[in-house]
Amino acid sequence: MRWYVGFDDTDTLHSEIGTGKYARYFAETIRTAFPVWGVVRQQLPQLEGIPFTTHNSSACVVIDTSSDKALDDLIQAATDHVHRYFQEGSDPGLCIACETDKSPILENFGRLCSAEIVTQKQAFAAGSNIHLSGHGGTNDGIIGALAAVGLTMSGWGGSFIDYADIRNLPSRISIQELRERGIEPVAALRKGLAPHDRQKLMAPRGIRPRLWGGRPVLPLLQSNNLDWEPIE
């Protein structure tokens, strides 16, 4: 059973951690109880009228568990996490949903948040059948938290900020090693060649696979020596 835990508006300009790191910390705290599949960052628009700290991103922790009754435990763990790291002046929101909650309404809400200003009223209407809660300030974080869940549920949006051991990869690894980690390397150009297992990936700044088709996919550009490098 797959669960989605979304966070947003968790920080301020003076916070030591942003929403992405905040979500990764949560993933670390629950790993012993819940197998974490990955943490996905979702970019939201930087429009006039939308308050945000620096980048206006939200994050979703994706969990795979054999239990279909994990909701109460996840709500408690996530709420405790929000309160533990609460920053005065932030407007944190929390959203939790199960794969059985997946619907066009949730997915379309996430896409709407990527295109225009959305209200809390719209968020509560779209998320009426799942857990959605505000935990301080204006509670506006519920909007981005729900968007993070909806976009991640769709399987077609966002980038992985944590998956397998991507944060500890060497700067040069083989394409085969990527595939062994469950990450599919693809050429980012229309006339790009197919990456071969024996070729190398040069990634001194690390990698952030995209969530495409419900799996981690890494778009690549080929260098002059036929090795590969990730696009930004």
**155/97 same-domain check:** yes
**What pLDDT score does 11 carry?**
62
Q: Which DSSP helix (H) or strand (E) runs through 123?
A: helix 120-126
Both 147 and 216 in a single domain?
Answer: no
The reply to whether 192 and 83 lie within a common domain is: no
Task: Give pLDDT, residue 170.
Answer: 94
The pLDDT of residue 67:
75
Among candidate residues 129, 161, 193, the one where a domain is terminated: 161
Domain range for 219 is 164-230
Tell which of 139, 161, 183 closes a domain.
Answer: 161
Helix (H, G, I), strand (E, B) or coil at 7: strand
**Burial letters 76-101, b for 16+ CB under 10 A, else e:** ebbeebbeebebeebbbbbbbbbeeb
Same domain, yes or no: 78 and 175: no
pLDDT computed for residue 86 by the predictor? 79
* pLDDT for the residue 18: 80
Domain match, 40 and 57 both: yes
Pair (59, 171) in one structural domain? no
Residues 199 and 95 in one domain: no
**138 and 90 in a common domain:** yes
Low-confidence ranges of the chain (pLDDT < 70): 10-15, 46-55
pLDDT at 225: 79
Let me know if 186 is exposed, middle or buried by CB neighbors in 10 A (0-12, 13-18, 19+).
Answer: middle
Report how many domains make up the chain. 2
Contact 209, 159 (CB under 8 A): yes
What pLDDT is recorded for position 16? 72
Boundary (domain end) residue, out of 161, 180, 199: 161
What pLDDT is attached to residue 49? 57
pLDDT score, position 15: 64
Query: What's the pTM value of the predicted model, to 2 decimals?
Result: 0.92
Give the orientation angle of helix 104-113 with respect to helix 141-154, to 10 degrees: 120
**CA angle at 149 for the pair 37 and 27, rounded to the nearest 5°:** 35
- Specify whether the CB–CB gap between 148 and 20 falls below 8 A: no
My answer on whether 93 and 203 are in the same domain is: no
Burial letters for 102-126: b for 16+ Cβ neighbours within 10 Å, e otherwise? beeebbebbeebbeeebebeebeeb
Classify residue 156 by its DSSP letter. S
**Same structural domain, 93 and 147:** yes
Pair (109, 172) in one structural domain: no
Domain with 135 in it: what CATH number?
3.30.70.2200
Between the alpha carbon of residue 144 and those of residues 14, 43, 53, 171, the distances in Å are 20, 9, 13, 33
Give the pLDDT score at 90.
Answer: 81
- pLDDT at residue 61, rounded to an integer: 98
Report the sign of the C-alpha dihedral through residues 66, 72, 78, 81, in that order.
negative
Q: Are residues 140 and 181 in the same domain?
A: no
